[in-house]
Amino acid sequence: MAVSIRTDGEAAGLASLSARSATGASWDQPILLRLVSIALFAGIWEVAGRIPVSFAFPTFSDTIVAFFGLLADGSLATAYLSTLQPLVLGVVLSAFLGVGLGTICGLWRTGEWLVIPVFIVLQAAPVAAFIPMVTFVYGIGMTAKTLAVMILALPVIVLNTYKAVRNVNESLLVMCRSFMGTRWQTVAKIILPDASPVIFAGLRLGVAAGFVGVVLAELLITPTGIGDLITFHRSRADYAEMYATIASIIALSTLTLVFLQWVEVRVFRPESRGA
């Protein structure tokens, strides 16, 4: 009987432990935690707007209403049609050029000494200082805005790719040589796959920098697209609409980065799906 009682107690304890573990696991879900984080941020924003911390700081609810108003009248969609053209073009060109140049510099020592210092300087330099020069040379059209995006996005992608290729696992290279792998096989089947996580991290950072670049270009070169919408509502003191526009570009940038991470895991690194 004593054994039976002890066994029942152990079973009850295990059941309680498993219940607590299940509850803890449900609260450890990343999606739930992210939703809680967003709700907390929105709550703090609402409180700060109602205090208010500034007459130019609207509440979260007013910003949401303004956002749907911008969607309804079509001004937000029209602005994004103008903004996305130089953004997409600049990011795509930066991705192809950045990965290519970074790989060459990682494999070729002379290329490293010739190219990498230039991109280190570009990454460290204040980008706003380049905008007037780009405008003077290329005017206020699509070319100038695309270059502004590339000036921000390209250095990040090049430097990340270069570091990833240069720091490939040496044991993998030795294994490839021991199996008489050619130079092309070493690059295509060993170096690039092993470097892909850092390369994709660089691409995500490059896309984020591209969003910054296109907004800077539209604010400093010529008021068009999202930059024009921000400037217009600021000049009219429509602060809810201004914040809604800013929040929309931040949300789009975040969703784009999440999508790129999903593509990386699902397509290029399926072994990381359960991580």
pLDDT in tens, 254-267: 999 988 888 887 76
Question: Is 215:226 a contact under the CB 8 Å cutoff?
Answer: yes
34 and 121 in a common domain:
no
166 and 37 in a common domain:
no
> pLDDT band at residue 108, thresholds of 50, 70 and 90?
confident
pLDDT in tens, 185-214: 888 888 888 888 888 889 999 999 999 988
In angstroms, what CA-CA distances link 35 with 40, 41, 72, 151, 257?
8, 10, 26, 34, 17
Residue 1 C-alpha from the chain's centroid: 63
pLDDT above 50: residue 26: no
Tokens coding 209: 């920098």
Considering its fold, how many domains does the chain have in total? Answer: 2
Please check whether residue 135 lies inside any domain of the structure: yes
H helix runs in the chain, sequence order: 2-27, 30-50, 60-73, 75-107, 109-124, 130-138, 142-166, 170-178, 183-186, 192-220, 225-235, 239-263
136 and 263 in a common domain:
yes
State pTM to two decimals. 0.79
pLDDT score recorded for residue 1 = 44
Count other Cβ atoms within 10 Å, centred on residue 47: 13
Please check whether residue 59 lies inside any domain of the structure: no
Please check whether residue 60 lies inside any domain of the structure: no
- H or E element: which one contains 264? none
- Specify the DSSP class assigned to residue 139: T
pLDDT in tens, 208-226: 999 998 888 888 877 788 8
70 and 45 in a common domain:
no
Residue 199 C-alpha from the chain's centroid: 13
CATH of the domain at 129: 1.10.3720.10
135 and 33 in a common domain:
no
Please check whether residue 141 lies inside any domain of the structure: yes
Residue 33 C-alpha from the chain's centroid: 20
pLDDT score recorded for residue 9 = 52
In angstroms, what CA-CA distances link 81 with 78, 138, 259?
5, 21, 20
98 and 8 in a common domain:
no
Residue 54 sits at φ, ψ, to 5 deg, of: -160, 150
Question: Is 215:32 a contact under the CB 8 Å cutoff?
Answer: no
127 and 42 in a common domain:
no
249 and 195 in a common domain:
yes
72 and 45 in a common domain:
no
Average pLDDT, the chain: 82
16 and 110 in a common domain:
no
Please check whether residue 155 lies inside any domain of the structure: yes
Please check whether residue 158 lies inside any domain of the structure: yes
Please check whether residue 207 lies inside any domain of the structure: yes
229 and 93 in a common domain:
yes
117 and 23 in a common domain:
no
Domain that holds residue 25: 2-50
> pLDDT band at residue 113, thresholds of 50, 70 and 90?
confident
Tokens coding 106: 């990682």
Please check whether residue 230 lies inside any domain of the structure: yes
